[in-house]
Structure 1
């Protein structure tokens, strides 16, 4: 390493591994529970690789469309900009999936109170700190991204990480998408933005 090299300091971003996004939830992703278990195994083996492990959650308001993110009562969601009710804060659907062990999680961020939110970078900690500032406070230079769903919140999180000039890897097998076509499109977009897709 030369004097101008910056040592790698890596964080793991665990995106929205919540009950409503795994099998049995209101917006279930096929394979979601298996992904949760795989992330748990990855952390059991590799937690020491990370200076921070950040878990994000959708955290929407009850009795609200959350800025149009939920379809209006009686209306059908379009599954593009409007969705069924999901991850209402303090409801069971917003809890982490039970297959995800939280032992190694060092920080939590919540996103979407009263508004649409996809990227974990839109989230804040309990103290109101934004994710990018949290990562900067730990001198993070690179992130690994895992979670649900590949074609929505994982995609948005990985793209935002690149926008913040973080080296970004998507860990194969530790994410799952809603649909094959949109998942493949998301992978193409992420790779074009400089996201590496690597084996964990």
Structure 2
């Protein structure tokens, strides 16, 4: 697969709290780093996303007495999973994994910083209408095809890719450069959803 100047690699949430030993560790999360670094060398355009939550964020289970991690609650924008507290602003857990190559990135999109709403997608918060500004950034630079890698495959990568497609971009997910949480079958559901939208899921060998 030849990468062009109209393509962009979007590296989703490769942060310490999503890696082994972190507050919300994705199994094998840190194992995406070598693959992402290798693929990233092929791209002229790289964007990073970063979960950036206040300590009193609505999605944190600690802010809901008598609730347990991974319970769901209903908020104004729909169902919300209650997560272990993670990626708190300016904490070491919110930092990018130390092995991740970030020098090539031209933009860092911080998301989830509004207390009352969570944000999985790189494009919209979970109300599906509050934009992050990423779509405008990409359009101004005439970037066409978005390749997604990072954490977690079945949440932030999934919703970012779906929103990219819905916004009119071509989207591709590099599965070997992702890891999933697999909460109640969410990995299988992600594969089904991506297939139904015509979003290709490829391996890293496609780039070499």
TM score, norm. by length of structure 2 = 0.82
Does structure 1 residue 70 correspond to structure 2 residue 60? yes
Indicate which of 8, 25, 48 corresponds to 1:28.
25
SS of residue matched to 1:122: coil
Instruction: Output the aligned Cα RMSD.
Output: 2.0
**Aligned residue in 2 for 1:111:** 111
| Shift of residue 47, structure 1, vs aligned partner | 2.3
Return 5+ residue gaps in structure 1 as ranges: 1-6
Indicate which of 143, 160, 163 corresponds to 1:157.
160
Give runs of ≥4 in structure 1 deviating > 2 Å.
Answer: 72-75, 77-80
SS of residue matched to 2:123: helix
Equivalent residues in 2 for 1:64-143, closer than 5 Å: 64=56, 66=57, 68-71=58-61, 72-74=63-65, 75-78=67-70, 80=72, 81-113=81-113, 114=115, 115-122=117-124, 130-143=133-146
For the Cα contact (< 8 Å) 1:36–1:99, is it kept in 2?
Answer: yes
**Aligned residue in 2 for 1:4:** none
How many matched pairs? 183
Q: Deviations over 1:154-185 (max 9, x none)?
A: 11100000111111101131001012831121
Indicate which of 12, 17, 28 corresponds to 1:15.
12
Deviates more, 1:171-180 or 1:148-157: 171-180
| Shift of residue 54, structure 1, vs aligned partner | 0.6
TM score, norm. by length of structure 1 = 0.85
Return 5+ residue gaps in structure 2 as ranges: 73-80, 126-130
Equivalent residues in 2 for 1:35-74, closer than 5 Å: 35-44=32-41, 46-48=42-44, 52-62=45-55, 64=56, 66=57, 68-71=58-61, 72-74=63-65
Partner Cα distance (1:179, 1:32) in 2: 13
Q: Deviations over 1:103-125 (max 9, x none)?
A: 211111000112200001137xx
Partner Cα distance (2:193, 2:20) in 1: 26
